Structure 1
Amino acid sequence: MQKEKIKKEKSSLATECDKVGEIAVQYGFTVIKPPHIRPDHISKAKQFKDFDYYGDVEEKIALTEWYMNDKKETESQPLSIHYKKPLPGNTSKKKSSKETYGFEIMGSASSTSEALVMKCALSILNDLGYKNLYIDINSIGDRESISRFERELSAYFRKRTHDLSWKLKEGFKKNHYSILTDTSEESRDFRENAPQPISSLSDISRLHFKEVLECLEQFDVAYKIKSNCLSNKLYASYTIFEIRQLKDETKSTTDRDLLAYGYRYNHLAKKLGGKREIPSIGLTIMVKKHPTFSKKVIIKNIKKPRFYLVQLGPSAKLKVLNIVEMLRKEKIPVYHSITKDKITGQLSGAEYMRASHVLLVGQKEAMEGTCIVRNITNREQETVPLQKLAEFLKKL
């Protein structure tokens, strides 16, 4: 009976959320009641604990098994979900003064998934009043890239081993990445001259990271590639990022509050016995409790979009997330399938969601800063400059 109850909870959608959840919905995420962390999840997590930088491996296991056991791959892909953290069954006894939120895009290897979670995080943090945000970002690439990097790091370590203390040497033997994340003055010279993960990226991984950075360029946010921004090498891959607030430039980056982090964990499903990899990226936001944002919102009462944003081509893909944010600020919600490339799938989505109009941005429109607004019923369309788009849509 208990198992049946848990399974029901795992598969049910949330009926209410707070302001953060409302923004998540506007970015295309579905608000869920998160799965429970079970004792077997805790047991399985032990094999990954030595490399668990963010302390969330049990949550990732619970979410991945929920996806596999509930056959979420049979639903429309990718699966974009939002939930409150910590998950039920979390063993941490630390009390936090912060609200913690989780976001996952599961079933998509596209670099646009990284762009979507980062843009959503920036929008939420900006609405909460956080200014001067910046992003530390890195890529460890695919398995080939990780293996190559570790070989190069090991070779460098052997050359420099006489300069290191016994403690650092022992730490390196247990975890090659430990010395890269060490903050002591003793390891500084080693860290500054050590090989960097992005130098070891395979061609596929390099292209993926390039696409992610191209998206970041559109977001009007400062970022830097930080070589010791790392994640769990046993199941993580490709992109890792952290969002912080620049308050005092005299402080080191490690002293500045971490507001959000995210990373890909494409390999976890197979590590847990799955037949195939599930390309996934997760985002966690950690912010001070905010009375205004804590107010509950009934999800079914959130304004339903009348418009469906469709993009076609690399240039258009770079533009659309800024269009989503621009319209959100004007209280004009839109449906979108930004992680999909084919226009047929996007247009089918527009019909399925019963949108009245399609907002089409192709390569030409992206270059000219315009958008085609097409009536789905009578196929009439008009090209509208982006700066006038919100005003135009309000009149429809």
Structure 2
Amino acid sequence: MGSTIQAIRGTRDILPEEVGYWQKVEATAREILGKAAYREIRTPIFEQTSLFERGIGEATDIVGKEMYSFKDRGDRSITLRPEGTAGAVRSYIENKLHALGGVQRLWYTGPMFRYERPQAGRQRQFHQIGVEVLGSGDPRADVEVIAIATDLLQSLGLQNLHLDINSVGDREDKQRYRQVLVDYLTPYKEELDPDSQDRLTRNPLRILDSKDQRTIEIAENAPRMWDYLSPESGRHFAQVQQMLTELGISYQLNHRLVRGLDYYTHTAFEIISDNLGAQATVCGGGRYDGLVKELGGPETPAVGWAIGLERLIVLLQQLDSTTPQANLDFYLVSRGTDAEANSLILAQKLRHSGFSVELDLSGSAFSKQFKRADKSGATACLILGDEEAANQTVQLKILATGAQQSLSQTALLATAAELLQRG
């Protein structure tokens, strides 16, 4: 026999024991986003490479170092999506969603791909839930998306979260500040880490985001971006802060928060967990007013965020080590030719009546099937032998109490809900 094939480094299987957490997150997101009139969009997992080069920015780490790009058979350069916004914006433009008028509130979930060092809560294939609000430059849109992210995380029971915000201004503010920052950092060039030395000419704002200790110390005394905002950008940022305060959402200003993508303007924010160690950001986002136009669409202000699901699920598992389980009503055991045939019919009738039923297919001795029934988490065990099959009866055993009774299958179907409740 050949050697066994294993999952590729940086990918992992999400097994049934863990999937309950994922389903809980997805169901909670669907409910909260639905109540706020966000509609789900599903875009392809791969796109033309140029979409991400233009959208995210060629000087970013994602485009420079982390994309899974390849040539297809038509010699086109294709990239597995490293994030969700660029694809959503491409779809918005291509499908002329702007022609519908008003504000488009979109959300998505699914796998993303980045070639980086795998670690706790960070995989090469990872998953995100994200939202995009396209068509509003109002600071209320910035605050709405932050409030919804906060609602979602709190509804899942997360604590020890805090919100960091910053403003990176508009394109002109950014250019003006970029020069101020380069002037400040240049004398320290030799003390910066190699990545930051490289970024000094290509993408100096990202130096503020460095994890290198000496670079952090130097960046700590850098001029603050918010001191270089135009009056209009300053007003936008002040309104965002005021509305967060009015909503009772506490925040702190973080002048080193720039986010990793070139398309951000004005508000940038992160929701951070104190329970995650170094990889602390659970949700990151901000405003990106120039991206739709950059990708060939009309001038369209926009704001959004993404939540990394792997990190979120690490936090949920810390909170509650018991996997959320689907409640099972009946575990059905049977033995004998007629009983086994009858058990499938009875299981289907109960399922059609709205009950959840696990049918034991092992054909093993009743004693072994009973052990599995006890472990199943079901409310009741149904027992069918050939005698029950012949008489169209069934034994019902309430697993918590051990109380057992014989009744006709017709009576079971008519009163199952009452019997489970009484049990």
TM range (shorter): 0.5 to 0.7
What corresponds to 2:69 in structure 1?
none
Q: Could you tell me whether the CA contact under 8 Å between 2:28 and 2:156 is conserved in 1?
A: no
Structure number with higher relative contact order (C-alpha < 8 Å, ≥ 6 residues apart)? 1
Q: Which residue of 2 aligns with 1:21?
A: 30
Go from structure 1 to structure 2 and tell me whether the alpha carbon gap of 1:52 and 1:60 turns closer, same or farther (over 3 Å shift): farther
How far does the alpha carbon of each residue in 1:270-297 deviate from its partner, in whole angstroms, 9 at most, with x for none? 22223x32211111123218765999xx
Distance 1:151 1:64 in 2: 30
Aligned partner of 2:53: which letter? K
TM-score by length of 2: 0.57
Instruction: State how 1:167-246 maps to structure 2 within 5 Å.
Output: 168-232=196-260, 234-246=262-274
Cα 1:207–1:157 change in 2 (3 A) is: same
Which residue pairs with 2:136 in the alignment? 108
Corresponding residue of 2:151: 123
Task: Name the CA distance, whole Å, in 2 between partners of 1:136 and 1:110.
Answer: 20
**8 Å Cα contact 2:193/2:212 also seen in 1:** no
Question: Residues 124-147 of structure 1: CA distance to partner in whole angstroms, max 9, x if unpaired?
Answer: 111111013210111101011101
C-alpha separation in 2, matches of 1:293 and 1:106: 37
SS at match of 1:195: coil
Q: Does 1:262 align with 2:285?
A: yes
| Residue 75 of structure 1: aligned partner | 100
Given the alignment, which residue of 59, 77, 84 partners 1:50? 59
The alignment partner of 1:84 has SS state of: strand
Aligned CA-pair RMSD: 3.1
Number of matched pairs = 269
Counterpart residue number, 2:176:
148
1:57 and 1:108 map into 2 onto residues whose CA distance is: 25
Q: Deviations over 1:183-230 (max 9, x none)?
A: 223223321111121111111111111111111112333311111211
1:353 is aligned to none
The alignment's TM-score, normalised by the length of structure 1, stands at 0.60
In structure 2, runs of 5+ residues without a counterpart are 1-25, 67-80, 317-322, 328-423
Q: Residue 234 and residue 242 in structure 1: after superposition, are their counterparts in 2 closer, same or farther (change >3 A)?
A: closer
Q: 2:87 aligns with which of 39, 50, 62?
A: 62
Which of 1 and 2 has greater Rg? 2
Q: Deviations over 1:318-369 (max 9, x none)?
A: xxxxxxxxxxxxxxxxxxxxxxxxxxxxxxxxxxxxxxxxxxxxxxxxxxxx
1:12 is matched with: none
Equivalent residue number for residue 385 of structure 2:
none
| Cα distance in 2, alignment partners of residues 238 and 62 from structure 1 | 21
Unaligned runs of 5+ in 1: 1-16, 296-396
Distance 1:92 1:72, change over 3 A: farther
Q: CA deviation at 1:266?
A: 1.4
Residue in 2 that maps onto 1:280: 302
Contact 2:109–2:130 (CA under 8 A) maintained in structure 1:
yes
Q: Which amino acid in 2 is paired with 1:174?
A: R
Worse overlay, 54-63 or 215-224: 54-63
Partner of 1:20, secondary structure, is helix
Match of 1:364 in 2: none
Identity %: 25
